Amino acid sequence: MSRYAPTPEVMAIGQINISGNVTPTTWWKHIQLPSGRPDATAIALLSEIVYWYRPTEVRDEHTGALLGYRKRFQGDKLQRSYQAFAEQFGFGKRETADALKRLRDAGFITLDLRTVEMLDGVKCSNILFVGINPQAIAAITTPSSVSPESNSNNAISDTAITLKRNTPQRHNGTGDTPNVDTNTEITTEITTE
């Protein structure tokens, strides 16, 4: 039996119809806070925005033939409030607004505040519309090509290579333990509580 043969758990997960947004792994490297850490809030929000901009297939009811595609929202851009994004993901409204502005400043999305006339004639101002920049999304989503010298035989290695250094991980557990602060005080006294 091959080491890569699917287990029953892998096959069971393969039967689940998972829907919703998808987060490409490359985004964690490209969408970062000024500190250099991944901007998890912005990544989750961008993933949701991209989901809404992905086309939906329109099929013939009788033949199942693909007739075309349609968008998932009504207007020219996605209409969604800061509060709606915040409630969906459990973020604060300010945290959501700041993350969307970072995405805008990075060139991934546009944010437009518009005045909209409702069906009953009432005008509502400052309605948020979110646009998207497909070229910028593609630039961070498509991984850079791998040079032929780096993987000439296209085989999967059994030894994991870390991203920080080009050496295998330690498997034997030897080596110095890093100096770590702890809140636990070590004592020889026995307590009877």
Task: Concatenate the DSSP letters of all residues of 113-133 into one string.
Answer: EEEEE-TTS-EEEEEEEEEE-
Report helix, strand or coil for 10.
Answer: helix
Cα distances (Å, whole numbers) of residue 54 to 57, 107, 118:
10, 18, 26
Determine, yes or no, domain membership for 2: no
Say whether pLDDT at 172 is over 90: no
Residue 116 pLDDT: 92
Residue 151 lies in a domain: no
Query: Is 165 inside any structural domain?
Result: no
**Could you tell me if residue 170 is inside a domain?**
no
Segments forming the whole domain that contains residue 90: 19-141
- Asked whether the predicted pLDDT for residue 155 surpasses 80, the reply is no
Task: Identify whether the C-beta of residue 141 lies closer than 8 Å to the C-beta of residue 27.
Answer: yes
The predicted-structure confidence for 16-46, as pLDDT tens digits, reads as follows 888 888 899 999 999 999 999 999 999 999 9
CA angle at 37 for the pair 168 and 105, rounded to the nearest 5°: 135
Residues paired with residue 78 on neighbouring β-strands, in sequence order: 130
Q: CATH number of the domain that 94 lies in?
A: 1.10.10
pLDDT at 1: 61
Does 188 fall in a domain?
no
Give the number of other CB atoms < 10 A from CB of residue 178. 5
**Pair 72, 52: CB distance under 8 Å:** yes
Confidence at residue 68, expressed as pLDDT on a 0 to 100 scale: 93
Q: What is the mean pLDDT of residues 159-173?
A: 46
Domain count, the chain: 1
Which residue matches tokens 């030894």?
Answer: 159
Residue of higher predicted confidence among 126 and 183: 126
The side-by-side arrangement of strands in the sheet containing 78-79 is 78-79, 123-132, 109-117
Spatial separation of the C-alpha atoms in residues 80 and 117, rounded to whole Å: 16
Strand partners, 57: 69
